[in-house]
Chains A and B, each alone.
Chain A
Amino acid sequence: QVQLQESGPGLVKPSETLSLNCTVSGFFISAGFYWGWIRQPPGKGPEWIGSIYHSGTTNYSPSLKSRLTMSIDTSSNQFSLILHSVTAADTAVYYCARNTHPVYYFDRWGQGTLVTVSS
């Protein structure tokens, strides 16, 4: 059974860098699929952040592309998100998810982790 688990700081200061990891169990991330990040601000709908393939190929949301880096480590079965220069608008629950391709949808999700941007 595929399981995903996000990890990282719950509080980040404005202008600093948000870093999150997603650990996948029950499935080898090198076996296929893209792996995605989605965030959901409090009381709002989900927003796709970006997706990465095991080869390292990435696909980023245009609205976040200039601040975003995603990476993948098949040896540890993890993938990561780095978002630079955060503001209060980046406060959200961040989810990692398994991402089908070529039609993008998200069939397995982590439980999510709340990241608050505040001084």
Chain B
Amino acid sequence: SYVLTQPPSVSVAPGKTATINCGGPNVGGKSVQWYQQKPGQAPALVIYTDSDRPSGIPDRFSASNSGNTATLTIRRVEAGDEADYYCQVWDRDTDLVVFGGGTKLTVL
């Protein structure tokens, strides 16, 4: 089965840039989504189809996907960005959905 690997944690100072990676074999050939989950809440979509932002998501959030790594970038990090972030792919070959293990973003 397809596995997505994320670092367990990332720390960043307010105002700086956070980068969260999501690794998987040829993930660049798949569609990647990113979700933000705050404690006690459901995950919320922040990026879809590799780099598109849903309405209401600030342009501080961006993403890319190539080769074996997809990347979520959060610029000018704010305290309110502290959350768990999950990547998710849809594998068109198997029509299956896989989530990464998640990365806890800590704002110092």
Contacts and interface: CB of A to CB of B under 8 A. Distances in A.
A109 B44 CA distance: 7
B96 A61 contact: yes
Q: Is the interface of A mostly helix, strand, loop or mixed?
A: loop
Given A61-B96, A107-B54, A109-B42, A45 B101 contact: yes
Contacts, number: 62
Nearest to A111: B42
Nearest to A61: B96
A46 B95 contact: no
Contacts of A35: none
Interface string A27-39: 0000000001010
B88 A105 contact: yes
Nearest to B84: A45
Q: How large is the interface on A (under 10, 10 to 19, 20 to 34, 35 or more residues)?
A: 20 to 34
B42 A95 contact: yes
A16 to B, nearest CB: 26
Contacts of B44: 109
A48 B98 contact: yes
Nearest to A102: B92
B61 interface: no
A46 B96 CA distance: 14
A45 B45 contact: no
Contacts of B43: 38, 46, 95, 106, 109
Contacts of A110: 42
Interface string B77-108: 00000000010101010011111111000000
Interface of B: 1, 31, 33, 35, 41-45, 48-49, 54, 86, 88, 90, 92, 95-102
